[in-house]
Structures are given as C-alpha cells and as structure tokens.
Structure 1
Amino acid sequence: MLNFLATATILSGICSLTSGFAIHDRRTTSGCGSTPSWSFNNEGHYTRSLNGRSYLVHIPVAYNGSSAHPTVFSFHAFEQDPNNQELISGFSDPGLFINGTGIIAVYPEALLGPGKSEDGDVPQRAWQGAPYSKAGVDDVTFTMDIIQDLQEHLCVDKSRIYASGKSNGGGFTNLLACNSTSAPLFAAFAPVSAALYPKTHPIHNCTPGRVIPIINFHGLADDIIPFVGRDADHWTGETSYALPNITKYREAWAERNSCNNGSTTGSGKSNPDVGFTIDGLGHSWPSTAGLDGGTTSFNATTAEIIPFFDMHWLEHP
C-alpha cells in the first residue's frame, strides 16, 4: 500500500462567515411531512428523470420525512457516471452525518459531449465549462432544477446543501461556486482534482456575491490536471484547455473572500479556504481504499469534506 503525505494549506486567516459545531435549526422544504412518492430500492437508491435528464439520489437508512436532511451533490468526472462517482466519493456511506443528521446524496449525470481529439473524438459525458462539453449545455440550470425537485419531494435542509465533484465535475463545482445565481444555494464546495478550464472561472470572472467556503484537494503527481497548470492543451495547443496553477487558484479564492494575504500550513477546517496538496498522488479522489487509483493515508470524504461541510451553513437560504 502506498501512503502519500497530505499538506493542508489554510488560505484564510481573517475572514467573516458563519461556522461552528453546535447543531442549529434546520430549514425545511415543502417535501417535509410526507412519505416520499419515489420508489427507492432496498439500498436507498432512486434514479430520477427530470426534463429529459437524470440523476441518482440516495437517502440515508434513517431517512425521516419530518426532519430536514442535509444534501450533498457530487458531480462525476469526464467519461464517468453517477455510479462511479458514488463509489469513489463515498457520500452514500451510512456512517456520514452533517448537523447530526444522515445526508441525502445526489449524483447528477452529464450529457454526452463531443469528446477529446486525442481520444478520437468519441462522445463522452462532460459538464459545462469544459472544452469537450456539449455546446450550449446549461448544467447550472439543471443543478438548480434538481434542487427544486428535491425540495418538493424530499425533506431537505435548504440551509445545508453542498457541492463536490472530481476532475471535470470538480471544475463544474467551481463554476457553481462562481455563479451568482447558483452560489447562494450552496453552503460550501469541495472540488477534487478539479479540471479548472477558463470557462469554469478559476481565477477571473468569478462573482459569487458572498464569501464562499471551499475546500479542495490536488495531487502533486497529477499528470491529467497538473498542479502547476498549463497554458494550452499539450496535444492540440488549444488555449481552451488552459489550467491555472493550483496555488494561484487557491490564492484567488482567498482574495475573493477578502481574506488576509498569505497562507499557513496545518489544520483548520473551519476556515473558508482550505487546500490539500498530496505528495505523490495522481489524478485521484484521496481515499484509504484506493477506489480511484492511488491509496492515501486519509479519506478525503470522511476525514475532511464532511467535517468541513458540517461547519458551514447558510444563514438565510
């Protein structure tokens, strides 16, 4: 088993936002107080069709239609699907709780895009913001439609909705955080090995309208989305494939959140901007189980993301 060293960089210091540890009042939705009409299987899964698209939803074992549940979105990588994202992220784990309550895990499915030229232009699923996503696709609206759909049919705590994703899904997670329409709906964000193409606004044109709690993870040995960034695609030279240096990306978020300059290394999940740099890890979701490639000494989901989400909620959703 290979274990990689993870360094947490807290890019904050003095920032103003709500965070804490005590269980706070849950903000209910219209789906509370009734039995779900959706036919969940014995494992708590249901694939929901919505406006010609679909998403996978998982409810916790102790789902209670009278108690508002936190909800975590997790967006899959390029050419992957909701089932793979559920596997590598582990957000459907029955042992996960936010605000003392089991979580509703949501895994949307991207539309087929044109694919990549180096892969023979084979159509693959991809999220908005990537140069290989479907032309004109509006996944931000799709995500907002899912939120409304969930709130109408399940008991959702609308002050505790979160977004995460891997690679292309991580880049789209960043786009949701930067969009002034979608950002107010999510309490915190967690992109992993994010493909931060220019149209996901990693550095410029990011206007969330508020302080954004964001935790991110990136391996130093990532040869798909290199930590140091790049100016263009190494196959075609297309600048639409440009990627930022991850350190610069993190610093941009700290500045955007009006944090003090500089960074510190250590623990501190209650801060609004936290970045984990994993020495030796490639293009993977950090996990002790190695379900997405390299095995790390910690599980990003259970050890870091869920506790980070637990500390952040929306005061006035």
Structure 2
Amino acid sequence: MFEHPNGDRTRTWTEYIPKTYNASTPAPLLIYFHGQFGNGHSTAQKLPFAKIASIPLITAYPQGIDDAEDSDCGTGWNVGVMGHDAETCNSAAFSQTCCYKTCRAQGLCSGDGKNANCGWSTCLDDSAFLMEVISTLGEELCIDLNSVHLAGGSNGGMFTHDAYAQHPNVFRSVNPVYGLPLKNHIDVPEKLVDTSIYHFHDRSDGVIPADGGFAGGWEYESADDVLATWAQLHGKSSSACTMGTMGIGQTEDSCCCG
C-alpha cells in the first residue's frame, strides 16, 4: 500500500505491478474505484486483473474516504455536481442521505436526511486525487500515458462518469460497472471522441437499475441513454443490438449498433 499527501490529509491506494513489467517498456495502467463502503486493498485482492499474464497491466485501487459527521455513511467518492442536486432524489432516499464534513464546509448540505440535499458521499476533490495517482505512478514507473484506463463499481462506477467529463483527454477507455449518472447528469464532452466506453450492468440490479428511473429514492439515467450519447459522439447508431456471449450463462447481450 502506498500513501501520498493530498491537501490536509493522506490519501492511499494499493497498486499491483505484474512480473511481466519491464521498466524500459511503457505499460498500460488501469485504475479501479471501489463502491460505497468499499475498500481499495480488498478490491485489489478480489479482482482478477493480476491473472492476465499476457498483458503487463499495472493496476491501482484508490481508497475512498468516510468523513460523515453524525453516522457511518461509507467510504465513497465525490461524483461531482450530481452528488448534491435536490432534483435527483425524493423522500425515500432520506434514510440513506448523509452530510459529510467536507460537504457541509462547502455549503452543500446542513445535516443528514432531508437536509443532505440528496447527498450520500464525500465532497473531497477525488478527481484531483485521481490525477495525483496517475502523476505519481507515472513518475515511479514506466507508464504508457496514452493507455490509461478507468473503471469502477457502483458508486465507483458513478465516479467514472464525473471523472471522464472533467478530464476527457486522459483516458483511453472507461469501464463503469453497475454505475450510472443521476437524472439529467449525462455529460460526454466532444474531446472523448478518441475514448472507448464498456459498460457492464446486471439487468436485475435493484440498487442502480440498468433501465434508469427511481431506486432507493434516487433517480438514474439509463445505461441505454448513456451509451447512446457516446455512440452519437463516435458517429455510430444510438440504437441497441444484440451480441452473443459465452461462458456466463447467457446467450445474448446488448451493445450499440454500427
């Protein structure tokens, strides 16, 4: 586990360097963000990227922060402006909303429940933290900065949407896993035209539903609408097609046509 100062606190991440890494050959970098209440180190141990022996892939797993004032609200990520938008939730969310210290300091909330302004995670500058991880690893290791890949699950997947919108020139690909933007917060800048997206989502997910809409009191965009926006940017059809899948107990899945 490596630590690096970020403002007035120390931020940490776990990194994995494969045996096939060659210090004279630029290697691709994948950064994966865990979900709410998650842990970067345990995520690194669970995910299978280290088993891809044919690719000298360096992986990093940042650790989220729980700085909630009055309760344990989880180690999550700052998802940007959609994290405190009163139009994105209803009263059903109030049992889960939290006012983190960093959010109160910025005037984004005044308490938990109905006073949290639909917030549920920290307001630390996690986007700057992400850039710091990339910069530090780029100084320590031989990283191919044209092959930096971003992924995350659940709240970590939601964070990827904010991160690529803020830094559209940084990532070669993004991979949100069951993580979608909240309603009216799809943001796909034109500079992402050279970036690929691969979105994974369980069709039966009841926490962040693939079809969008309300769940747990929050309202989400649908995976189809997010991918359609990306498809249009890349000059592809925005309608969905089916594709064959193998080895996961399913015969077909959806993808963008063209």
TM-score by length of 1: 0.59
Q: Going by fraction, where is helix more abundant, 1 or 2?
A: 2
Shift of 1:62: 2.4
Shift of 1:74: 0.7
Judging changes above 3 Å, is the alpha-carbon distance between structure 1 residues 141 and 124 closer, same or farther for their aligned structure 2 residues?
same
SS at match of 1:74: strand
Work out which of the residue numbers 122, 125, 128 in structure 1 matches 2:75. 125
Deviates more, 1:164-173 or 1:86-95: 86-95
* Highest RCO, 1 vs 2 (Cα 8 Å, sep ≥ 6): 1
Quick check: 1:173–1:189 contact (8 Å CA) kept in 2?
yes
TM-superposition CA deviations, 1:148-185 (whole Å, max 9, x none): 11111111111111011111111111222222xx2211
Q: Which runs of 4+ in 1 moved over 6 A?
A: none
Quick check: 2:13–2:63 contact (8 Å CA) kept in 1?
yes
1:227: which partner in 2? 210
Please give the alpha-carbon distance, in whole angstroms, between the structure 2 residues aligned to 1:85 and 1:125: 13
Quick check: 2:188–2:229 contact (8 Å CA) kept in 1?
no
* 2:191 aligned partner, one-letter code: G
Work out which of the residue numbers 57, 60, 65 in structure 1 matches 2:18. 60
* 1:176 aligned partner, one-letter code: A
SS at match of 1:219: coil
Question: What are the ranges of 5 or more consecutive residues in structure 1 without an aligned counterpart?
Answer: 1-45, 268-275, 277-287, 289-295, 299-317
Please give the alpha-carbon distance, in whole angstroms, between the structure 1 residues aligned to 2:225 and 2:192: 20
Work out which of the residue numbers 210, 215, 220 in structure 1 matches 2:192. 210
Quick check: 2:13–2:60 contact (8 Å CA) kept in 1?
yes
2:39: which partner in 1? 81
SS at match of 1:111: coil
Work out which of the residue numbers 156, 172, 193 in structure 1 matches 2:178. 193
Quick check: 2:182–2:219 contact (8 Å CA) kept in 1?
yes
* 1:149 aligned partner, one-letter code: T
Aligned residues: 208
* 2:142 aligned partner, one-letter code: C
SS at match of 1:184: coil
TM-score by length of 2: 0.72
Please give the alpha-carbon distance, in whole angstroms, between the structure 2 residues aligned to 1:111 and 1:190: 22
Shift of 1:83: 2.2
Quick check: 2:127–2:163 contact (8 Å CA) kept in 1?
yes
1:249: which partner in 2? 226
Please give the alpha-carbon distance, in whole angstroms, between the structure 1 residues aligned to 2:77 and 2:233: 24
Shift of 1:198: 4.7
2:137: which partner in 1? 150
Please give the alpha-carbon distance, in whole angstroms, between the structure 2 residues aligned to 1:164 and 1:127: 13
Shift of 1:113: 4.5
Please give the alpha-carbon distance, in whole angstroms, between the structure 1 residues aligned to 2:231 and 2:138: 32
Shift of 1:48: 3.1
Identity level (%): 24
Quick check: 1:111–1:134 contact (8 Å CA) kept in 2?
yes
TM-superposition CA deviations, 1:216-265 (whole Å, max 9, x none): 1111111111122224x53xx4xxx3211222222122123332342322
Quick check: 1:184–1:208 contact (8 Å CA) kept in 2?
no
Work out which of the residue numbers 28, 45, 49 in structure 1 matches 2:4. 49
Please give the alpha-carbon distance, in whole angstroms, between the structure 2 residues aligned to 1:155 and 1:164: 21
* 1:154 aligned partner, one-letter code: L
Deviates more, 1:103-112 or 1:88-97: 88-97
Quick check: 2:13–2:41 contact (8 Å CA) kept in 1?
no
Judging changes above 3 Å, is the alpha-carbon distance between structure 1 residues 88 and 247 closer, same or farther for their aligned structure 2 residues?
farther
Quick check: 1:61–1:94 contact (8 Å CA) kept in 2?
no
SS at match of 2:207: coil
Work out which of the residue numbers 146, 166, 169 in structure 2 matches 1:184. 169
Judging changes above 3 Å, is the alpha-carbon distance between structure 1 residues 195 and 246 closer, same or farther for their aligned structure 2 residues?
closer
Shift of 1:208: 5.1
